[in-house]
Homo-oligomer: A and B are copies of this chain.
Amino acid sequence: LSDDGQRAVDEFIALLDLEQIDDDIFRGGNPKSVQRPDVFGGQVAAQALIAAGRTVDPDRAVHSLHAYFIRRSNPKAPIVFTVDRIRDGRSFTTRRVVAVQRGQGIFALEASFQLDQPGIEHQVPMPARPSPQSLATSTGADAEVIDIADDRPFLRRWPFERRRVPTTADDVEPTRGEWIRTTGKLPDDPLLHACAITYASDLVPAAAVLKAHNLDIADRAHVQVASLDHVIWFHRPCRADEWLLYEAESPSASGSRGLATARVFAEDGRQVASVAQEIMVRVR
C-alpha cells in the first residue's frame, strides 16, 4: 500500500465527509481532478449511504440498500442529499435519501439499518479461486471505466486495487471474478467499509453483462452503458481495505438492459455481501 494509494483513499474518505447543511440535509462535492461527463454512480451511492447513516444510531448497522439512478449527474455541481427518516423501529431503522442537483433529483436510495441480532446462520461456499496474492493488478480497459473524458490515467487517483480472476473452463455461466480492496487503510467505522463496498460494487456489473457479448466497456464509440439501479445486502461485517472477492455473473440481458448479480466474499471465505445491478446497454 503505497503513499499514493493511501492518498487516494484519504481523498475517498474526504468525499464521504459531507458538509452538514441542516439536521437531515448534507452537501457532497466531486473530485476536482477527475474529468467525467457525469459523477461516478458508486460515488453518489456511497455519499447517499453516508448521509443516511449520519442520521442513524451507530449501534445499528446497514444491512441493505436499494437505489435508482434517476437523471444524469453533473460532475461540476455539488450534490445535496436530503434524508427522510422513514422509520425508527425497535430493531430496524429505515431511511430514504434523495440526491438533488440544481433542483432535480438525480438519485434516490433507501437503506435499512438493524441492531445486531444473532439468529440462523448459513452461506454458500466461496468458489475456489486463485488467491489475490497470486494475481497481478489489473490495468487497461477496466481501469479506464470511470475515466471517460480525461486523458490522465485515472488509477493515479483511483482508491481501489483490482485483481481480475482468469476465467476458468468449468464456468457454466458467464462469470467474472475480481479481488478488490482499497489502496490504503480505512478507519474502523463499519459504515465507511459499507460505503467502500457500495462504491466498488458499481464497477463490477457492467463488465459482467458485457462479457457475455465480448463487448469492451472501454469501446466508447460503440458501447454506451449506464447504471439503472443498485441493491446491496450486507450479510456480515468486513473490512474493505482487505481483499474481497466479487464473484459476478449476468443471468439475463434483453430490452437493452442487462442484469448482473455478485456475491462478495472475504478472503477467509465468509460471504460478506450480495449485490445486484441492472445496467442500460446501447450498442451502436
Q: A86 in the interface, Cβ–Cβ < 8 Å?
A: yes
Interface digits, A245-284 against B, CB 8 Å rule (1 contact, 0 not)?
0000111111111110101000000010010101001110
B231→A254 contact, CB < 8 A: no
- Knowing A114-B257, A255-B114, say if A108 contacts B96 (CB, 8 Å): yes
Contact of A112 with B231 in the complex, beta carbons under 8 Å: no
User: Which of chain B's residues have a CB closer than 8 A to the CB of A123?
Assistant: 251-254
Q: Which of A24-32, A66-74, A147-155, A158-166 contacts B (4 or more CB under 8 A)?
A: A66-74
Cα distance, A74 to B259, chains bound together (Å)? 35
* The residue from B70, B105, B257 contacting A119, defined by CB atoms under 8 A apart: B257
Q: Please state if A119 and B281 are interface contacts (CB–CB under 8 Å).
A: yes
A256 touches B120 (CB 8 A): yes
Residue A23 lies at the interface, judged by CB distance under 8 Å to chain B = no
Beta-carbon contacts under 8 Å, A96-121 to B: 96, 105, 108, 110, 112, 114, 116-121
Could you say which residues of chain B place their CB within 8 Å of the CB of A82?
Answer: none
Instruction: For the complex, give the distance between the alpha carbons of A149 and B261 in Å.
Output: 37
Give how many A residues have a beta carbon under 8 Å from the other chain's beta carbons.
59
Kindly state whether residue A36 has any CB partner on chain B within 8 Å: no
Contact between A124 and B173, CB atoms less than 8 A apart:
yes
Q: Is the CB of B64 within 8 A of A229?
A: yes
Q: Write out the residue numbers on chain B whose beta carbons fall within 8 Å of the beta carbon of A87.
A: 70-71, 105
Are A63 and B257 also in contact (CB < 8 A) when A70-B94, A281-B120 are?
yes
Q: Which residues from B are CB-within-8-Å of A63?
A: 255, 257, 278
The CA of A86 and the CA of B252, in the complex, are separated in Å by: 27
Chain B residues near A105: list those with CB within 8 A.
Answer: 86-87
Per a CB cutoff under 8 Å, which of B71, B89, B108, B213 touches A110?
Answer: B108
- Let me know if A124 and B252 touch, CB within 8 A: yes
- Distance between Cα atoms of A67 and B229 in the complex (Å): 13
Q: Establish whether residues A118 and B255, one from each chain, have CB atoms under 8 Å apart when the complex forms.
A: yes
- When distances are taken between beta carbons in the complex, the residues of chain B under 8 Å from A256 are 117-120
Q: What residues of B have a CB within 8 angstroms of the CB of A255 in the complex?
A: 63, 114, 116-119, 235-236
A84 to chain B, nearest CB (A): 10
Question: With the chains together, A261 CA to B261 CA distance in Å?
Answer: 10
Q: Which of B94, B229, B276 contacts A68 (CB 8 A)?
A: B94
